[in-house]
Structure 1
Amino acid sequence: MSAARSWPMLLAVFCSAEAASMAGFALVPSLLPRLTQQWSLSATQGGWLSGIFFLGYIVAVPVLVSLTDHLDARRVYLACAALSGLAMAGFASFADSFAAALCWWWLAGLALAGTYMPGLKALTDRLPVAAQSRSTAFYTATFGVGAGLSYLWIECVKDLVQWPLLFAIAAACAALAVLLVWCAVPPGKAPEPASARVGDWRSDWQSVLRDRRILAFCGGYFGHNWELFGFRAWLVAYLTWTQTTAPDLWTTMPGLIAALATFLAVPASILGNEGAHRWGRSRWLQGVMPFSCLLGLAVALSGGQSSRLLVPLLLVYAASMNLDSAALTAGLLIGTSTGMRGTALALYSSIGFAGAFVGPVAFGMALDAFGRGSHAGWAAGFVTLACGVAFGRWAIGRIGTLPSESSSP
């Protein structure tokens, strides 16, 4: 079967594997109220426990993703999906304190560095050029599907079993992702390196770091992830606090609301990429990022409002913060030569997920500073999210006007 005909099946395989490998993604955010109480954590410590996942990602991604410029990305993906299963199993068996939990959750984030972007690289390396932009949008949107399913199944099961069993289930799902890619995706040839000498990574990194367009996308992704993952890390805890202070049917199952908010990332991300095609990538990004910032401030000012008003506002905000996601990633990929994509993605992921680490920690610090038991504390937390996406908008403003793109499927 030709590549042009088989690419939808290949896309389905990678998206399914991505969703399976992310079964444990929402475990710490969903269990944060329980773990905070069990281990007597401050809000700042809670932010660190959520953010350490992305710190592990940052440490590994420059090596693992740039490695895909020199060998088949499928090999990196398989090894790190297996590592993800090991990290979940380790958390289930040995995380009996804050310090131990930090170590195992850090390892889980390190494993994500070898599955998310290397999975995208393995996919796009096997696709015809005409299918790469929209396939990238679907793949990156599947991150939202996987995260949403993670919130959903955890919400349905967490009151029925002890929390270590939840991590064991996630480990089994990671093993399923390994099996799926191993069986359904044939090995490929190592890509031709862009540098003059095979293995000369220094030349690759120098070229990428001199590219103003790549750096602007990296800054935009930093702001996007600051907002997005700060929001996801604290949403269940915020809804749990809201239910405690003002009980309402709308916030009875906070994990369900978090799942719905995360699922909204899928259509928002895909539509965002289509909007970038239609109106121009720079123009689109410079419009939707301030919109998300304003909605974050609106949530901050909505403290004390009825849950019937608050929950819809949170869902609209959750959708808005994903209108830039696929547009950013696709914009980086389609303007970067094939031989340099791994290194560009490594830098993009490193800087972007530094924002994913900063977001939860900044939110937690704001809570501690203004009072985690008060509306002022939670309002301050949401203001930090608005600051994150505002920085992303500033970074994208440094990019100038991008060349027009073909919207062919």
Structure 2
Amino acid sequence: MTGFLRRYPLPVIVLAQLFGTSLWFSINGVWLSLAGTLGLAESDLGRLTLSVQAGFIAGTLTLAVTGLADRFGASRIFLVSSVLGALTNAGFVLVAGNPLVDSLFRFGTGLCLAGIYPLGMKLVIAWTPAYAGAALAWLVGMLTLGTALPHLMRGVTLGMPWEWPLLAASGLALAGGLLVFGLGDGPHLPGSRGRLPLRQGLAALRSPRFRAVAGGYFGHMWELYAFWTLVPLLIGRELARLGLSDGLLPWLSFAVIGMGAAGCIGGGYLSRTRGSAWVARLALVTSGALCLLYPWLNGLPAILLLGLLVIWGVAVVADSPQFSALAAATAPKEAVGSSLAVMNAVGFGLTLPAIWMTSGLWSEWGIWVVILLLPGPVFGVWSLARARVSA
């Protein structure tokens, strides 16, 4: 079985990434039913989403400080994280509605995701170092589909208990962990030799080019997860204007978020000829324009606004794998895992205030909260231009 898996390392890794990251927005996918059953509000959605993000940040910092990302086999960390993440995600079913305990369980899920997403990037680089931008595009594409997957699972289980999609996500995460464990570690990255892995992870910031890439990534992250959190709310608004059933909400949410996978993969192919930085700039400019224009177009027919959300869903994440490829190319080779972990930790830290503000102000501002996302793409474009990144 291991020999078979090693013939197709990239498909194995991206499929495992899809399964593992279905844990990320598992609560968001069942939110309509969960909120109705337990009497929760949009602020609770923000709280639970923030808990996952905080857990992920803590996990990536742990990887960076301890050097686990470079000292131990990536496939083993991926497996352990998948198993523990599946358990904490399933455990939410038992504690949902308790504001302290359910947040802790979602924090634990985010903590485990830190052993899935960054380690998945390292596995891709270790197995397929050529065309890293295109390969990472498939990986982030699966992250995007994994984020959207809970909405799809909720769509096919409408009328059933909200617990079922959550437990299904846990089952998928277990399967993903076993796939990567069967594949094993790739041959193209050495282990870390240093004694101060956090310092190794931060060392790449001495490079002006890496700082420019990291700045672009930070701006991208300010927008990305806040937008994904807002998608069901934005779609719900348009469904209400059309007088359509909320039963369409999970399907349309899956479509808007899931289309980001096409943006990642398409951007990956473009990166082969135009370069990763060109793709990243195009995505930032497109999503930034939508941040600015979307609320001003609120009077347009709902169908048109839903179409704009699909375009936004494609552009908002298309730059993510290109930033990862650029960062991996400029980080010290012996500390790629730690460098990516540090960059991820800071980037995901920036998602916290963005999610908190947009979800907290939704009831007062409505569609106008998307204006708060605009500084991210603006800063990202400026950062890339400042250092004249062209690769």
**Does 1:383 find its partner at 2:371?**
yes
2:176 aligns with 177
Question: Could you say what secondary structure the match of 2:130 adopts?
Answer: helix
Between 1:257-266 and 1:393-402, the stretch displaced more is 393-402
**Matched-pair contact (CA < 8 Å) for 2:201–2:341:** no
Output one character per residue of 1:126-175: Cα deviation in whole Å (capped at 9) or x when no partner: 33x32433222211221122223332112221x33222233222222222
Which residue number corresponds to residue 100 of structure 1? 101
Whether the aligned pair in 2 keeps the contact of 1:72 and 1:189 (CA below 8 Å) is no
Residue pair 1:222, 1:354 contacting (<8 A) in 2 also: no
Per-residue Cα deviation, 1:26-85 (whole angstroms, up to 9, x for no partner): 322223344445555554443222222111100110222642222221121111111111
Q: Pick one of 203, 210, 216 that aligns with 1:214.
A: 210
Distance between the aligned counterparts of 1:186 and 1:214, measured in 2?
26
Matched position secondary structure for 1:285: helix
Please tell me whether the aligned partners of residues 21 and 173 of structure 1 are also in contact (alpha carbons under 8 angstroms). yes
Distance 1:192-1:108 versus aligned 2 partners, 3 A rule: closer
- Maintained 8 Å contact 2:74/2:185: no
Q: What one-letter code is carried by the residue in structure 2 that aligns with 1:288?
A: A
- Whether 1:253 and 2:248 are equivalent positions in the alignment is yes
Deviations 1:359-404 (A, max 9, x none): 3212113324xx2xxxxx22222112223322322333333234x4
Q: How does 1:258-337 map to 2 (within 5 A)?
A: 258-337=253-332
Count of paired positions: 387
Q: Is the 8 A contact 1:87 1:107 kept in 2?
A: yes
How far does residue 337 in structure 1 lie from its aligned partner after superposition?
Answer: 3.4
Judged with a 3 Å threshold, the aligned counterparts in structure 2 of structure 1 residues 400 and 266 are, in CA distance, closer, same or farther, namely same
How many Å separate the matches in 2 of 1:144 and 1:188?
A: 27
1:55 aligns with 2:50: no
Mapping 1:2-151, distance limit 5 Å: 9-64=8-63, 66-127=67-128, 129-151=129-151
| SS of residue matched to 1:23 | helix
> Residue 145 of structure 1 contacts residue 263 of structure 1 at CA under 8 Å; is this kept in 2?
yes
Partner of 2:163: 164
Unaligned 5+ segments in structure 1 are 372-376, 405-409
Identity of aligned residues (%): 21
Match of 1:401 in 2: 389
Structure 2 match to 1:374: none
Contact preservation (8 Å) 2:23, 2:85: no
Q: What stretches of structure 2 of length at least 5 have no aligned partner? A: none
Distance 1:393 1:98 in 2: 38
Counterpart CA distance in 1 for 2:218 and 2:108 is 21
Measure the CA separation in 2 of the matches of 1:165 and 1:276: 39
Aligned equivalents of 2:360, 2:118: Cα separation in 1: 30
Residue 348 to residue 42, structure 1, CA distance change in 2 (3 Å) = same
SS of 1:130's partner is coil
Q: Which has the higher helix share?
A: 2
